[in-house]
A and B are shown apart, each in its own frame.
Chain A
Amino acid sequence: NAGVTQTPKFQVLKTGQSMTLQCAQDMNHEYMSWYRQDPGMGLRLIHYSVGAGITDQGEVPNGYNVSRSTTEDFPLRLLSAAPSQTSVYFCASSLRTGVTDTQYFGPGTRLTVL
């Protein structure tokens, strides 16, 4: 198993550009989520999905869209990039949506918006 994979690893955008961060898992996990990590702020939840076709907003959803058309993939779209979206983005998944399930994280995407 590859686990949770994310592409690209690094990305530089100009203000106003759009892009999609890719996330895939091959563990047949129901639950997937996106976090951003900023210095001194820990990880903050952007969006999450409890299964194919179902998504919901997290703590900081503004400026981001998600969709979950398959169990394996959970892309994060930046509609019009802003410098405030400069961050490291992590995708995570867990087998079920139960409160006790352990989340597995991808290696991250480091995004810089100029």
Chain B
Amino acid sequence: AQSVAQPEDQVNVAEGNPLTVKCTYSVSGNPYLFWYVQYPNRGLQFLLKYITGDNLVKGSYGFEAEFNKSQTSFHLKKPSALVSDSALYFCAVRDPGNTPLVFGKGTRLSVIA
């Protein structure tokens, strides 16, 4: 069965600095990987996904993620953090067998002005 791990419960970054939110996964076969963001008292919003092709995926709000097959990772990145990026970020994975999406536990990002 597929699984995903987000090793950091909390990430703190100064505004203007680059940010990274880490995600590692385990699946049988090629993974389909997703990042979602949740702002306070809201539902999850889709940021980006990796299906196939270029290992660097660009998404909404200036975010990008790099798929690394050898390290089974899919870290979320942004070159310059904004205070408005402060939110809860979820990594999710699905395997080729069309099983339901599996979410990580989430990482709370706090961008400090």
Say yes or no: A103-B104 contact (C-beta < 8 A), given A42-B90, A97-B98, A98-B98.
Answer: no
Interface-lining segment among B12-20, B43-51, B68-76: B43-51
- Min distance, Cβ B43 to any Cβ of chain A, angstroms: 4
- Give the residues in chain B near A99, CB-CB below 8 Å: 32, 94-98
CB pair B103–A42 under 8 Å, yes or no, is: yes
- Give the residues in chain A near B46, CB-CB below 8 Å: 102-104
Say yes or no: A43-B32 contact (C-beta < 8 A), given A105-B44, A108-B43.
Answer: no
B101 within 8 Å of A by Cβ? Answer: yes
The contact string, 1 if C-beta is below 8 Å from chain B, for chain A 19-53, is 00000000000000101000011111100100000
Q: How far is the CA of A40 from the CA of B44 in the complex (A)?
A: 16
CB pair B105–A102 under 8 Å, yes or no, is: no
Interface size of A by CB at 8 A reads 24
CB pair B105–A40 under 8 Å, yes or no, is: yes
A90 within 8 Å of B by Cβ? Answer: yes
In this complex, what residue of A is CB-closest to B104?
A: A42
Interface size of B by CB at 8 A reads 25
- Min distance, Cβ B50 to any Cβ of chain A, angstroms: 10
- Min distance, Cβ B54 to any Cβ of chain A, angstroms: 15
Within 8 A of A (CB), among B1-54: 9, 32, 34, 36, 41-46, 49, 51
State which of B42, B90, B101, B104 has its C-beta within 8 Å of the C-beta of A107.
Answer: B42
14 of the cross-chain contacts (CB-CB < 8 Å) are A4-B43, A40-B9, A41-B105, A42-B105, A43-B44, A44-B103, A48-B100, A90-B43, A97-B98, A99-B98, A104-B46, A105-B36, A108-B41, A108-B43
Residues of B within 8 A of A (CB): 9, 32, 34, 36, 41-46, 49, 51, 90, 94-98, 100-106
Residues of A within 8 A of B (CB): 4, 33, 35, 40-45, 48, 58, 90, 92, 97-100, 102-108
